[in-house]
Structure 1
C-alpha cells in the first residue's frame, strides 16, 4: 500500500534554522527519516538549489531534487517545515515555509499545482507559518482537491 503523501510525521513547526543549506537538509531529512527517499536525495536537493533557487515568493521555498534524483525516490511524499524567524535564501528572499517534495514519475507536477494554489495567497502562507498544530497544516492542504 502506498504511503500517504503528507502526514503529521512529515511536518515540523517552529523550526529554528540558520542557513539555507541547513533548512534544505532539515526538510530533506524528514523525507529520508519517513522512508520516502534514500539519503542521496538530500544532496540532490542541495544540487538543485545551486542550479536555480527553489524560492517561489510569499516567503515559500519548495526544495526538491534534480531530475536525476528520481532513482532515490521510493514513494511520493511531502515534508513541511515552518520557520517563523525566517531563513535567508539569498537575493533578499526570506523563507518562512519550506515544502520538500519527492515525486515518483510525474506525480510531483500535480502536487506542485496544489501547493501553488495554497501558497498563492499570502494569507494562507501566513496561516501555515503561524499554525499551532500539525493538523491545521494538514487541513489546509486537504482543502485543495
Structure 2
C-alpha cells in the first residue's frame, strides 16, 4: 500500500553547499520545521540518530531521520530534499543528496524503503543530482513502487 504523500517543490532545495554533515542535517530538518512537518526538537533527534549510526546509505545518498523517542515531534509525514552537487562528507563518503524524513507512526519505514529502492540505482541518483528543477526531482522520486 503506497502512502499518498505529495512532494511539494518548496521541500526541494537545489545546488546546496554544506561544510559538515551536521549542517546538512540541520538544513534538511529546518525545511521540515518551516513547512509544518515537525517540531524544532525533531531536528536535534535527527542529529542524534546520525551520531548513533551514520545516516549515509550509499550511492551518494544520506537519509537523516529522527530517533524513535522523537516520534511525538512529527506533525505530518513528509520529506525534505537537498541536492548538494559538490557533496558533503558523511564519514568517509560524499553525500550529494540529503533526504530528510519525518513519518507519522510507521509511515517513515515505507518512505525509507521507497527512497532506498530508487536510490539503489546509481543512474537515478545521478539524475537527481543533475536535476535543474525541483519538478524534475519530484518526478524522479514519485515513481510508484
| TM-score greater than 0.5 by the shorter chain | yes
In structure 1, runs of 5+ residues without a counterpart are none
1:132 paired with 2:116, answer no
Which residue is 1:13 aligned to? 14
Which residue is 1:112 aligned to? 112
Which residue is 2:34 aligned to? 33
Shift of 1:44: 0.3
In the alignment, the residues of structure 2 paired with residue 102 and residue 123 of structure 1 have an alpha-carbon distance, to the nearest angstrom, of: 26
Q: How many residue pairs are counted as aligned between the two chains?
A: 142
In the alignment, the residues of structure 1 paired with residue 136 and residue 44 of structure 2 have an alpha-carbon distance, to the nearest angstrom, of: 30
Check whether the contact 1:117–1:144 (CA below 8 A) recurs between aligned residues. no
Which residue is 1:58 aligned to? 59
In the alignment, the residues of structure 1 paired with residue 123 and residue 67 of structure 2 have an alpha-carbon distance, to the nearest angstrom, of: 30
Which residue is 1:87 aligned to? 88
Q: What TM-score do the two structures reach when normalised by structure 1?
A: 0.95
In structure 2, runs of 5+ residues without a counterpart are none
Which residue is 2:78 aligned to? 77
Shift of 1:141: 1.4
Check whether the contact 1:85–1:96 (CA below 8 A) recurs between aligned residues. yes
Shift of 1:5: 4.7
Shift of 1:16: 1.0
In the alignment, the residues of structure 2 paired with residue 77 and residue 5 of structure 1 have an alpha-carbon distance, to the nearest angstrom, of: 8
In the alignment, the residues of structure 2 paired with residue 97 and residue 43 of structure 1 have an alpha-carbon distance, to the nearest angstrom, of: 20
1:101 is paired with a residue whose SS is strand
Q: What TM-score do the two structures reach when normalised by structure 2?
A: 0.95
1:3-51 deviation per Cα after TM superposition (whole angstroms, max 9, x unaligned): 9452101000000111111000001100000000000000000000110
